[in-house]
Amino acid sequence: MTDDVRRLEQRLKQAQQAINMLVRTQTAQGLAAGFLERARPYEDHAELSALIEQGLLHHATFIQKSPSHLRFYKALLPSIDPAPRSILEIGVKGGGSVAFWKALYPAATVVGVDIKLRPWLQETPSADGVVYLQGDQTDVKRLQAIADAHGPFDLVIDDGSHVSDHQTVTIRALLPRVRRAGFYVVEDTHTSVKIDSPREVDYGADIWGDFTLTLLQRLRRGPVPPDSDGVRLAKDLASRVAEVRFGRQILALRMKDKNEEA
């Protein structure tokens, strides 16, 4: 490969990254409300769809959440009163979801953490106003440092590896960094459910059934299930939780406010 070809390929790569950043930011700002109505409103835009089909724009540029998750957030977000001032999402992929939160709440500090940031998310400062940080969701010291710098948070979203052991480390580290009456959300709680067919990825023990049942029983002062990883996790965190909300393959925990501490 000649130097001229290498330089051309590098310029093309830089151009593609610039397109991803520009379109991702402007689309999030222009279609933010639309994402609460349907998962991929950009499909109505022929130009955007053509850019994706031609490989000039990466689909990860846009929010990747399922329609059921978006419906869940549409009901959840108005519950955060006052509006969120600080949001942290673990697992940002191409940055579509954090750009979406920033478009919905432009005055908020929005932080996106991923174990491997895509090239178009590595500019500092970012073009969309989001703080992008590289980090492993199982690195407690890293999570605590991020919370010290940018928290406490009104909303934390775990959309990271979906491995239950990783989710456990993250919720233990970050739940105490959620403000009173704020929310902690765990997405894709179905991944650790065991099925008969072999799976490419081992997502670990299925903890979320016992976890949520234990929290509900603690809230109603009923008997908790037999001991398990999920039960122990719930017992350790229950003193902070005022409410549990369920959706399809997603759950949210609301932290207690001052009036609920007793």
242 within some domain: yes
The C-alpha atoms of residue 185 and residue 51 are separated, in whole angstroms, by 32
The pLDDT score that the predictor gives to residue 68 is 86
Among the listed ranges 23-32, 63-72, 252-261, which one has the minimum average pLDDT value?
23-32
The C-alpha R_g of the chain, in whole angstroms, comes to 20
46 within some domain: no
The C-alpha atoms of residue 127 and residue 130 are separated, in whole angstroms, by 8
Residue 133 predicted with pLDDT over 80: yes
Q: Specify the number of domains making up the chain.
A: 1
216 within some domain: yes
The pLDDT score that the predictor gives to residue 71 is 85
The pLDDT score that the predictor gives to residue 178 is 98
2 within some domain: no
Residues 6+ apart with CB under 8 A from 161: 91, 115, 137, 167
72 within some domain: yes
- Helices in 151-202 by DSSP H: which ranges? 164-174
Residues 128/100, Cβ–Cβ less than 8 Å: no
The pLDDT score that the predictor gives to residue 16 is 56
* Res. 126 pLDDT band, cuts 50 70 90: confident
For 76, counting Cβ atoms within 10 Å of its Cβ (0-12 exposed, 13-18 middle, 19+ buried), the class is middle
Among the listed ranges 25-34, 190-199, 206-215, 240-249, which one has the minimum average pLDDT value?
25-34
Q: Which domain holds residue 232?
A: 60-260
Per-residue pLDDT tens digits for 56-99 = 566 666 677 887 888 898 889 988 989 999 999 999 988 888 88
- Helices in the chain by DSSP H: which ranges? 3-35, 46-53, 67-76, 96-104, 140-150, 164-174, 208-219, 229-237
14 within some domain: no
Residue 18 predicted with pLDDT over 60: no
Per-residue pLDDT tens digits for 154-189 = 999 999 999 999 999 999 999 999 999 999 999 999
166 within some domain: yes
The CATH number covering residue 240 comes to 3.40.50.150
176 preceded by a cis bond (ω within 30 of 0): no
Residues 210/225, Cβ–Cβ less than 8 Å: yes
Q: What is the overall mean pLDDT for the chain?
A: 84
